[in-house]
Chains A and B, each alone.
Chain A
């Protein structure tokens, strides 16, 4: 009869190749796991970076700057108001989009406070409205993207002054403190009171 120790030795000798396979299997498992993890991290990171980049670009588009109302004058008839608005927004405004601007007046009228959104009237007609009388670059005429005579083409560029005239409904004249609020189509705002 064979000694038990000799029998175990033979068995272990028979299994000498098994250790290598197990080690190989472990390394393969670890490698595949690591590759899978790295691939996942890279995929997630890349897609997130792309999405965030798009969001940043869209937010940058929405950055709008502001308007500065340099002058606000009420003429003696109390129904005509002139204002000079300087474009301190970040981009030019096509004159064909002036109808998307907001001109809001909050003013005292015969003892009451009235708030009115004034519609754009390119031709200056109608009961109540506002229209452009000139566009200048400081004290001189505009140089870049000049406007047409009737202000249907051209641009109101950053740094340029838009001269506007507001005509109020004669039944609601401005008889006291007046606040003008202006906004570009993108939401750049400015206001001035007198």
Chain B
């Protein structure tokens, strides 16, 4: 066999091997990235599931300017005060929506920790917040949905009629 042909075959073989390795590498990298992306999504979902709440009862009457609700931490993690204050409260009826942020001025919402068993001032699992919605105007007779949205988007809701 001529030397020229041998060199050509070796060159082609090396090129084919490099191309195969590069292709396989691209595939492996892509699959790894896809896997990581899915893992991140699942982790985010798990993070949301780790935080949960349940509104035990919400109380407001026609003409009241305040609504009170008792909310239990049914998640698996405690929530520090700073993050509790980043929660948002929505009180919605067919005609009106009150969107409230934590604060002192009206309209806003405030809270007290009713049973801080370990006195750490964090909202631990099993502990209950009493939240007060200060609407700044009297509630008309209607059906309402009260929703508390935690800092990470997890939340809980209940219905009440005035």
Contact B16 A33 (CB under 8 A): no
Contact indicator per residue, chain B 107-124, by CB within 8 Å of chain A (1) or not (0): 000000011010000000
From A100, A113, A181, contact of B56 by CB (8 A): A181
With beta carbons under 8 angstroms apart, the residue of A35, A43, A99 that contacts B35 is A43
Interchain CB contact (< 8 A) of B28 among A36, A64, A99, A102: A36
A100 to B129, CA, bound (A): 11
Q: What does DSSP make chain B's interface, helix, strand, loop or mixed? A: helix
Which of B19-27, B88-96, B137-145, B146-154 is found at the contact surface with chain A? B19-27
Chain A: how many interface residues by the 8 Å CB criterion? 49
Cα of A116 to Cα of B89 in the assembled complex, Å = 21
B126 and A40 contact, CB distance less than 8 A: no
| A32 in complex: contacting residue of B12, B20, B50, CB < 8 Å | B20
B73 to A, closest residue via Cβ:
A187
Interface-centre pick from A37, A41, A100, A189 (highest chain B CB count, 10 A): A100
Pair A40/B34 contact, Cβ less than 8 Å: yes
Contact A36 B130 (CB under 8 A): no
Find the B residue at minimum CB distance from A45. Answer: B35
Q: Assuming A28-B16, A97-B117, A185-B126, is B72 touching A55 (CB within 8 A)?
A: no
| In the bound complex, CA of A40 to CA of B34 (Å) | 9
Known: A14-B1, A32-B24. A55 touches B45 (CB 8 A): yes
* 8 A Cβ contacts from A1-51 to B: 14-15, 17-18, 21-22, 24-26, 28-29, 32-33, 35-37, 39-41, 43-44, 47-48, 51
Binding site for B on A (CB under 8 A): 14-15, 17-18, 21-22, 24-26, 28-29, 32-33, 35-37, 39-41, 43-44, 47-48, 51-52, 54-55, 58-59, 61-62, 64, 97, 99-100, 102, 104, 106, 113, 115, 117, 119-120, 181, 183, 185-187, 189
Interface residues of B (CB under 8 A from A): 1-2, 5, 8-9, 12-13, 16-17, 19-21, 23-25, 27-28, 30-32, 34-35, 38-39, 42-43, 45-46, 49-50, 52, 54, 56-57, 59, 61, 68, 70, 72, 74, 76, 114-115, 117, 125-128, 130
Query: Could you show 30 A-B contacts with beta carbons less than 8 Å apart?
Result: A15-B5, A17-B5, A17-B9, A18-B9, A25-B12, A25-B19, A28-B16, A32-B20, A35-B24, A36-B24, A36-B31, A37-B31, A40-B31, A40-B35, A43-B35, A44-B34, A47-B38, A48-B42, A58-B46, A58-B49, A59-B49, A97-B117, A99-B115, A99-B117, A100-B127, A102-B72, A102-B128, A106-B59, A186-B74, A189-B56
